[in-house]
């Protein structure tokens, strides 16, 4: 079985991406990766890297895209679990936490590069997070909130879930369950707080 040129190229490209992911899993942060190291891990000559990516940054962007996509797909699957059984909040948090436990490196990449040095990567990550917020915000709107409130709720919820993910990175299983439990409580605070604001006669500032 011989591969066409295009197939072979794609294969090498994947090898590079996978090599980078493997090194991220090994506890390195993205900007601690060197081109040579990635090339070595991918079993190609350093200079061959350039046949596929102009830069380490370009590889980084690819990684962020791919990881963001993976995360979104998981969450989409999670939504099916909701339809069958269970609360929106509970299932979403569980799905997310399962993802970060199974793919700590992917989550870490997104979370870490959010405040990274590279402006390109930062905006790429911001865009991925934005997908979550908008998707959730749209849903909240359909339940009867005005756009501004919906967006604020969605953003807060995403922030809390990501925060829980970050906390759980160094946590032991027992702590992780506790973190998930707390995150759910926090999301309910937001949901019911926003609901209260919706009915202005009950609402009151502190």
Compute the distance between CA of residue 138 and CA of residue 154 in angstroms, rounded to an integer: 9
Within 8 A by CB and 6+ apart from 74, the residues are 95, 98, 99
| Residue 26 contacts DNA per CB under 7 A | no
Under the rule (CB under 8 A), what is the footprint of a second copy? 27-29, 31-32, 87-89, 108, 111-112, 114-117, 119, 122-123, 126, 149, 151-153, 155-156, 159-160, 162-163, 166, 169-170, 182, 185-186, 188-197, 202-206
| Residue 8 contacts DNA per CB under 7 A | yes
At residue 92, φ and ψ (nearest 5 deg) are -65, -45
| Residue 5 contacts DNA per CB under 7 A | yes
Cα 180–74–183 angle (5° rounding)?
Answer: 15
| Residue 1 contacts DNA per CB under 7 A | no
The only residue of 18, 55, 98, 138 in contact with DNA, by rule CB under 7 A: 55
Burial label for 100, CB within 10 Å (0-12, 13-18, 19+), is buried
| Residue 12 contacts DNA per CB under 7 A | yes
Binding footprint of DNA on the chain (CB under 7 A): 2, 4-6, 8-9, 11-12, 34-37, 43-48, 50-52, 55-56
């Amino acid at each position: 079985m011989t591969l066409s040129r295009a197939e072979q190229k794609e294969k090498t490209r994947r090898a590079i991406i996978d090599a980078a992911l493997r090194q991220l899993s090994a506890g390195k942060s993205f900007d601690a990766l060197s081109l040579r190291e990635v090339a070595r891990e991918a079993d190609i000559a350093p200079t061959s890297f350039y046949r596929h990516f102009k830069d380490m940054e370009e590889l980084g962007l690819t990684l962020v895209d791919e990881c963001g996509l993976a995360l979104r797909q998981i969450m989409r699957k999670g939504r099916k679990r909701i339809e069958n059984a269970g609360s929106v909040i509970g299932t979403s948090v569980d799905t997310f936490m399962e993802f970060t436990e199974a793919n700590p490196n992917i989550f870490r990449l997104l979370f870490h590069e959010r405040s990274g040095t590279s402006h390109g990567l930062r905006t790429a990550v911001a865009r991925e997070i934005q997908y979550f917020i908008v998707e959730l915000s749209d849903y909240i709107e359909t339940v009867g909130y005005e756009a501004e409130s919906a967006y604020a709720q969605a953003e807060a919820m995403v922030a809390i879930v990501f925060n829980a993910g970050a906390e759980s990175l160094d946590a032991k299983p027992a702590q992780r369950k506790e973190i998930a439990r707390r995150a759910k409580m926090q999301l309910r605070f937001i949901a019911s707080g926003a609901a209260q604001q919706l009915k202005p006669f009950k609402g009151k500032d502190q």
